[in-house]
């Protein structure tokens, strides 16, 4: 990872970095794109997206990232995702995350929500994006104690 970061800095090149490890993404990326079943559901500057996620899937991903410090990790509460993962070859209508989203409403079933601008360069495709971004709503449900 250090070599990757040095190449970016020394040569001023942009790189596409694809990963499921959000701690690594946070270290490496200046912009983050969150995808679910092949569709971008949120994108924005790294720090902004990590501090103020505007999509339920982004919130779930960030909440499931392990803590670096052992004591914090032991005390961390991990949300449980509901529902079944839909088939990528036959995705559901509307928002693709709706079958697992605790905030789903009828509108989510009809069409993919348009990307809403939350701040400069930060957008999310969720009908609750502005509330999530402002911290007025959370998609995190059914937290369970970490089984460590």
- What is the mean pLDDT of the segment spanning 110-118? 94
pTM for the full predicted model:
0.83
Q: What is the pLDDT of residues 57-107, one digit of tens each?
A: 998 888 887 777 888 878 877 777 788 889 999 999 999 999 999 899 999
Distances (CA, A) of 78 to 16, 47, 64, 129: 29, 22, 6, 22
**31, β-bridge pairs:** 45
**Token pair of 131, please?**
């509330």
Question: pLDDT grade, residue 141 (50/70/90)?
Answer: low
Domain boundaries, the chain: 35-145
């Amino acid at each position: 990872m250090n070599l990757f970061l040095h190449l970016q800095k020394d040569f001023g090149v942009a790189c596409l970095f694809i990963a499921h490890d959000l701690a690594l993404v946070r270290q490496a990326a200046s912009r983050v794109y969150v995808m679910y079943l092949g569709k971008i559901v949120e994108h924005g500057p790294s720090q902004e997206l990590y501090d103020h996620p505007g999509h339920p899937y982004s919130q779930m991903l960030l909440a499931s990232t392990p803590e670096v410090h052992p004591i914090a990790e032991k005390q961390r509460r991990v949300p449980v995702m509901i529902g079944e993962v839909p088939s990528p070859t036959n995705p559901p209508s509307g928002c693709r995350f709706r079958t697992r989203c605790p905030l789903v409403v009828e509108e989510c079933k009809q069409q993919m929500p348009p990307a809403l601008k939350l701040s400069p360069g930060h957008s999310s495709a969720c009908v609750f994006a502005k509330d999530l971004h402002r911290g007025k709503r959370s998609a995190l449900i059914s937290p369970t104690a970490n089984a460590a």
